[in-house]
Amino acid sequence: MAAQARDLEKRFNNVADVFSHAGDAFTSAGETLTKSVTAPLVAVGTAAIKFSSDSQDAFQQFAAATGTATDEMGKYKDMINNVYKDNFGESINDVAEAMATVNQNMSYLDDSALQRCTEYAYTLSDTFGYDVAESTRAANSLIRNFGIEANEAFNLIVQGSQNGLDFSGELLDSINEYAPQFKKMGMSADEMFSVFVNGAQNGAFNLDKIGDAVKENAIRAIDCSDTTAEGFKALGLDATETAKKFAAGGEAADEAFNQVIVGLSAMEDPIERNTAGVNLFGTMWEDLGPEVVMSL
């Protein structure tokens, strides 16, 4: 019965108006939907009244979770109803809870973006099984670290998932953990995903290790240790200047990282390359292997 009420409700353009004029609405529904509604009209009306009650509970739930003032609730009611009418969520309460989560994780969104991002998060949930809280935290990390738009952040997550990046169940966690490291290395969001894809396609056994390799190199590159200096020298790089590039971040760090990868790939003696790799990537070189690291 609840499903029938929901289907009926979705035929109306304005949910609030429907339930404030329930008698008129259901008279109209009885006249226009007789062939498609098999349940008695009074039963549908009872279910719809319950929906109205559930809606009020949902709105109160959203207001409590977000600290929204009563006089500001109108626009959020419309957005919650719109998301539900677009066939997202198991119930109106579920939509209110999801939108509250999006609002908490991405508090800078304007009203229209909040509705769109709630629907983006539902799409990720329906398609890939991602929890709304986890996907919006990951999208927020991409937005804040790389300065991209919300739709691009969600698109990158979709594309990454379609390219098999969640093969070890760590895509969203890896985005959250390593986006700051990739930013520090001067890489863009696209470049971070490219590094993930290259590593995964060349044999990395989990995504976390790929991010950790970049992080480990970033740490070692500026630690001024003898082993790091030896690693740079083995690649024909000036240790002091290369360390300065890594420390500067941005494009300089990105250039230095590429020089390291190219330098390792150009070494012909596998023993010397292995020594340099360990000096610059530590255990990540050993865990991932030369082929994976050099593919980054």
Task: pLDDT band for 44, please (50, 70, 90 cuts).
Answer: very low
Dihedral angle of Cα 29, 31, 32, 33, to the nearest 10 degrees: 70
- The confidence score (pLDDT) of residue 263 equals 93
d(Cα 113, Cα 106) in Å, to the nearest integer?
10
User: Higher confidence at residue 129 or residue 45?
Assistant: 129
Name the least confident of 3-17, 55-69, 261-275: 3-17
Q: What is the mean pLDDT of the chain?
A: 80
* Single-letter amino acid code for the residue at 239: A
Q: Which long-range contacts (CB under 8 A, 24 or more apart) does 76-79 make?
A: 77/16, 78/16, 79/111, 79/114, 79/115, 79/118
Residues 213/281, Cβ–Cβ less than 8 Å: yes
70 contact partners, CB below 8 Å, separation of at least 6: 63
- The confidence score (pLDDT) of residue 46 equals 42
d(Cα 90, Cα 81) in Å, to the nearest integer?
13
Q: How far from 267 is each of 129, 211, 235, 270, 290, CA to CA, in Å?
A: 43, 23, 8, 7, 11
CB atoms within 10 A of CB 106: 21
Q: Max CA-CA distance within the chain?
A: 85
| pTM of the model as a whole | 0.72
Q: How far from 187 is each of 142, 191, 254, 257, CA to CA, in Å?
A: 12, 6, 6, 10
Residue with tokens 């989990």, as numbered in its chain = 206
pLDDT in tens, 152-183: 999 999 999 999 999 889 999 999 999 999 99
Residues 160/199, Cβ–Cβ less than 8 Å: no
- The confidence score (pLDDT) of residue 37 equals 40
Tell me the chain's radius of gyration from C-alpha atoms: 26
Residue 260: which H helix or E strand, with range? helix 250-266
